[in-house]
Chains A and B, each alone.
Chain A
């Protein structure tokens, strides 16, 4: 019994990963757009589970907050409001499938290049920390919100703020576009 539970506990990441893949497949394969969004939601929740299995609690919960709670709701909104007829939906999806395959192949090649070392290389002897002195005095395993915030607000403050300015620009741009359309 003990052994069995321990094995499950050690393989939580793999379980959630497989479930996330199942969700992604459901998203691609579903006939109706709402079912696709549901598959996407399932995948996102399982990716949050992956983070939790790696003891990155902050990232896992942020995944739920941002993706499951925010972005997928907006997707659902858009899909519900722009309801397409079955035929039109099929046409749009078929039109896109050729490019989608190309894009996926390109993405796979790119990510394999990035993750080649992570997947096939030897495991690193110690945890990868960008600036070890930032984690000084922190029990990273139990205070990962603090650890992430030190990275964001001490080491990478400028890029972080620039990112938020980009979001602001997108927001203003959206308002401008919507306004001109109405006038």
Chain B
């Protein structure tokens, strides 16, 4: 295998960045679309599950048939797609209003900080351990060169992800401050307090995989948590997974923890004064953060690019018959499928559980989640000490 020169490796890194951006910009609009549809089904909202582009094409023919049979066609997966188109068009075309007494520079900076902090996290996330694919030899300039599964699988990948994700707080706080208005300021302060306090149990719940896998490298952790675990290590992982998911919901400001934009109390929280694509960046950042949280959860708890969750894959691998060996190998498609499932869980929870009160959120975070995370960490340390 040829080793790439410096310029070639930079070009490859650029291609990887491009792939991540394409991944994000495919997943996010589809999540928004899915959110409308799933919520429509869960809460029996009619529009987002019914509206369609017309009566053309195959699905139009199917729909007409179903109407004729006296049934309401809700099965079509693409019903509601005009809503997505409308969403995107509105974001792009809406007038960009800046409040008269806003701090213009900070007002401009806040959404970009949110967006950049959300997307830079992907630098340390590797979708497959080792090589993702190799360029065919006929490819100009890059022929025969391998492309690794992550942009930069650094030694302290997990810390990088946690560190850069905390920078995202600035986006919300600065947006609240720079709007020069009461509701955004309250929303920004609230969300900063919430995110800073939920970072503690989030990090503590991620320490259990670190202790069990004895590494901070993303792909190494994913590998060891998926195929290198004894049976006993399942216990702290299940608790840790639920803990992590709860804190992840709070970190991404999603229901039932969406304090920064609690509509009935704060209008729209920190982005009340934002419109157009500036609001769009906050919106994008929220969904990218959801994707990142899902990616971490699926890597460390659900087995990452392997098929089975919680290290079951490693236990079952020796018993798999030969023709199933495709399922025993790591594939990026498994990883993406798990991310999509967790994104669905986000929407599912949003449609099911009502919002907490602010004091309840803080009480849950400090009084229950942190002690539970410490117990979970102790359990993981005991398993690491006595079993592994």
Is the CB–CB distance between A5 and B6 below 8 Å? Answer: yes
A67 to chain B, nearest CB (A): 10
B102 at interface by CB-CB < 8 Å: no
Task: Give the segment of A116-124, A129-137, A138-146 that binds chain B.
Answer: A138-146
Name the B residues within 8 Å of A90 (CB-CB).
none
Q: From A2, A65, A70, A81, give the contact of B6 (CB < 8 A).
A: A2
8 closest A-B pairs by CB:
A69-B166, A64-B163, A65-B163, A61-B159, A61-B156, A57-B156, A61-B160, A61-B163
A1: CB under 8 A from chain B? Answer: yes
Cα A64 to Cα B169 in complex, Å, equals 13
Is residue B177 within 8 Å, beta carbon to beta carbon, of the partner chain? yes
CA distance in complex: A141, B186 (Å): 45
The listed residue (A38, A80, A142) touching B109 by CB distance below 8 A is: A38
Total contacts A to B, CB within 8 angstroms?
78
Q: What 1/0 mask marks residues of chain B from 104 to 115 whose CB sits below 8 Å from any chain A CB?
A: 011001000000
Give the A-binding residues of B (Cβ under 8 A). Answer: 5-7, 10, 103, 105-106, 109, 154-156, 159-160, 162-164, 166-167, 169-170, 173-174, 177-178, 185, 189, 192, 196, 199, 216
Residues of B within 8 A of A45 (CB): 167
Question: DSSP class of B's interface residues: helix, strand, loop or mixed?
Answer: helix
Counting CB contacts under 8 A, is A9 at the interface?
yes
A62: Cβ under 8 A from any B Cβ: yes
| Min distance, Cβ B200 to any Cβ of chain A, angstroms | 11
Chain A 3-41 per-residue mask, 1 if CB under 8 angstroms from chain B, else 0: 001100100000000000000000000001011001001
A80-B106 contact, Cβ under 8 Å, with A2-B6, A57-B154, A65-B159: no
CA of A45 to CA of B166 in the docked complex: distance in angstroms?
A: 12
Residues of chain B lying within 8 A (CB to CB) of residue A38: 106, 109, 174
- A122 and B242 CA atoms in complex are apart in Å by 56
Q: Bound state CA distance, A64 and B163, in angstroms?
A: 6
User: What's the Cα separation between A32 and B10 when bound, in Å?
Assistant: 40
**Which of B154, B156, B160, B199 has the most chain A CB atoms inside 10 A of its CB?**
B156
Please state if B192 and A77 are interface contacts (CB–CB under 8 Å): yes
Residues on A lying within 8 angstroms of B by beta carbon are 1-2, 5-6, 9, 32, 34-35, 38, 41, 45, 57-58, 61-62, 64-65, 68-70, 73, 76-77, 80-81, 142-145
Contact of A6 among B6, B155, B159 (CB under 8 A): B6
21 contacting pairs across A/B (C-beta < 8 A) = A2-B6, A2-B7, A6-B6, A9-B6, A34-B178, A38-B109, A45-B167, A58-B155, A58-B159, A61-B159, A61-B160, A62-B159, A64-B167, A69-B167, A73-B196, A76-B170, A77-B189, A80-B173, A80-B177, A80-B185, A145-B159
B residues in contact with A2, CB < 8 Å: 5-7
* Complex Cα gap A142–B199 (Å): 27
Residues of B within 8 A of A69 (CB): 162-163, 166-167, 169, 199
Q: Is the CB of A68 within 8 A of B159?
A: no
Name the A residues within 8 Å of B159 (CB-CB).
58, 61-62, 65, 145
Q: Which single residue of chain B is at the shortest CB-CB distance from A32?
A: B103
B5, B163, B174: the one contacting A68 at CB < 8 Å is: B163
- Please tell me which one of the listed residues A34, A65, A77 contacts residue B106 in the complex, with CB atoms under 8 A apart: A34
- Chain A nearest CB from B327 CB (Å) reads 32
Question: A124–B216 Cα gap in the complex (Å)?
Answer: 31
Residues of B within 8 A of A1 (CB): 7
Partner of A41 from B154, B170, B196 at Cβ < 8 Å = B170
- Measured in the bound complex, the distance between the Cα atoms of B196 and A2 in whole Å is 44
Measured CA separation A132–B255 after assembly (Å): 52
Known: A38-B106, A73-B170, A77-B192. A142 touches B155 (CB 8 A): yes
Known: A57-B154, A61-B163. 16 other contacts (CB 8 A): A1-B7, A2-B5, A2-B6, A32-B103, A35-B105, A38-B174, A58-B156, A61-B156, A65-B163, A65-B166, A69-B167, A69-B199, A80-B177, A80-B189, A145-B155, A145-B159
| Residues of B with C-beta under 8 A to A41 | 170
Instruction: Contact check, A143 vs B169: say whether CB atoms are below 8 A apart.
Output: no
A5 x B109 contact (CB < 8 A): no
Q: What separation, in Å, do the CA atoms of A76 and B178 have in the docked complex? A: 12
A-chain residues with CB within 8 Å of residue B174 when the two chains form the complex: 34, 38, 76
Report whether A73 and B169 are in contact in the complex, using a CB–CB cutoff of 8 Å. yes
Residues of A within 8 A of B177 (CB): 34, 80
Nearest CB on A from B111, distance (A):
15
How distant is B219 from chain A, measured CB to nearest CB, in Å? 14
A61 cross-chain contacts in B, Cβ below 8 A = 156, 159-160, 163
- Please determine whether A5 and B167 come into contact, CB atoms closer than 8 angstroms: no
Q: Which residue of A lies closest to B162 (CB)?
A: A65
List the B residue with the shortest CB-CB distance to A79.
B177
- Please indicate the chain B residues that have their CB under 8 angstroms from the CB of A144 in the complex: 155-156
Minimal beta-carbon separation of B348 from chain A (angstroms): 30
Q: How far is the CA of A162 from the CA of B169 in the complex (A)?
A: 31
